[in-house]
Amino acid sequence: MDFTLFLIQVLNGIQFGLMLFLMSAGLTLVVGIMNFINLAHGSLYMVGAYLAAFLQQRTGSFFTAVVIALPLVVLLGFLLETTLLKRFYKRDHLDQVLATFAMILFFNELIRIVFGSAAYFMDVPVILSRTLTLFPGIVYPMYRFVIIIAGLLVAGGLYYLISKTRLGMLIRAGAEDRETVNALGVNINLLYMFVFGIGAGLAGLSGIIAGPLLSVQVGMGESILIIAFVVIVIGGIGSVKGAFVAALMTGIADTFGRILLPPALASMLIYILMATILAIRPKGLFSINA
C-alpha cells in the first residue's frame, strides 16, 4: 500500500469513526448518565435519515432537509422520553431492553407504512460533490471531509458542554447521585429530558449525514447500533471522551481491516479489539467522568 492510498484510508477511517462518534456519544450519555438501556437509539438514526431523504426529494435541497429534519428528530426524542421512556428509568434493565426493542419493531413498521419498503437514496449537495486537494497528488471527496470537520466541531462542543458549563456539571452530578441533585432543587426530570434530547439529536444527525453515503432503508439503525455499543464499551460507559477515542479506533480498525484482511476476519476485527481492551481495562478506556 503506497503512502497516498494509506493516507486516504486513514481519512476514511477517521470519517467513519466520527460518524460513529455522533451515534455513540448520544448513546453513552443516555446509558452512562441516565442508566437507561436504549435499544431504540438506532431507530432515531433511521428516522433522521428517512426524514432528510424525503425532504430532500420534496425540496431539492440537502441543507433545507437538514434544517427541518434535525429539529424533528430532537422533538421526537423529547416526546418519546416524556410520554413513555421515563416510566422505565427506575425499572430493571431487562424491562428497558424489552420496551426499547419493541420500539425498534414499531418504528421499522411505521417507516415501512409511511415511506414504503423501497430504499431511498440521497444526493450529495452540489457544492460538496467536488474533490478537495489536501496535498499535492492527494485528493479527497469534499463531502467526506466536511463530515470530519462537523464531527470534530460536535465533539468539541460536547466536551465544552459537559466539562465547562453549569449544565454539564449538573448532568455529571445527576449521574453520580440523582437523589441529592433533586433535593438541591434541580429538576432532574427536565435534566434527563434534555440529555435524551441531545442523544436523539446526535443520532438523527448521524443518520442525516450518512444518508448520501448509504442507502436509506428500513432496519438500517440496528447494524449501526451494535457498533455504537461496541464503541461505548471500549471507551467506557458514560464517557464522551472515551466515545470519541474509541470511535476513531473502531473506524480506523474497521476501514483497514476491510482492506487488509479476509472478509470473515475483517467483520470480527472490532469485536476482537473490544475483547482485547476489556481484557486490559475491564471498565473501558475512560471512567464515566473522564
Q: Would 19 be classed as within a structural domain?
A: yes
Contact criterion met (CB below 8 Å) for 288 and 163: no
Question: What is the mean predicted confidence (pLDDT) over 215-228?
Answer: 92
Average pLDDT over residues 48-52: 96
Give the C-alpha distances (Å, rounded to integers) separating 149 from 111, 239, 252, 272. 31, 21, 17, 29
pLDDT (tens digit per residue) in 255-289: 999 988 888 888 899 999 999 999 999 888 886 54
**Which conformational region is residue 188 in: left (phi greater than 0), alpha (psi within -120 to 50 degrees), or beta?**
alpha
Using alpha carbons, select from 203, 159, 160, 194 the residue that is nearest to residue 174: 194
**192 within domain boundaries:** yes
CB 277 within 8 A of CB 285: yes
| 29 domain-assigned | yes
Is the residue at 280 inside a domain?
A: no
Query: Is 149 part of a structural domain of the chain?
Result: yes
Residue 52 has pLDDT above 70, yes or no: yes
- Percent of the residues in the chain that have a pLDDT greater than 70, as a whole number: 97
Assess if residue 165 is contained within a domain: yes
Distance from the first to the final alpha carbon of the chain: 37
Range of lowest pLDDT (145-149, 223-227, 271-275, 282-286): 282-286
Element (H, E) at 167: helix 166-176
| Domains contained in the chain, number | 1
Mean pLDDT, rounded, of the chain: 89
Q: Which residue range forms the structural domain that includes residue 113?
A: 15-232
| CA–CA separation, 1 and 6 (whole Å) | 6
Q: By the 8 A CB rule, do 239 and 28 touch?
A: yes
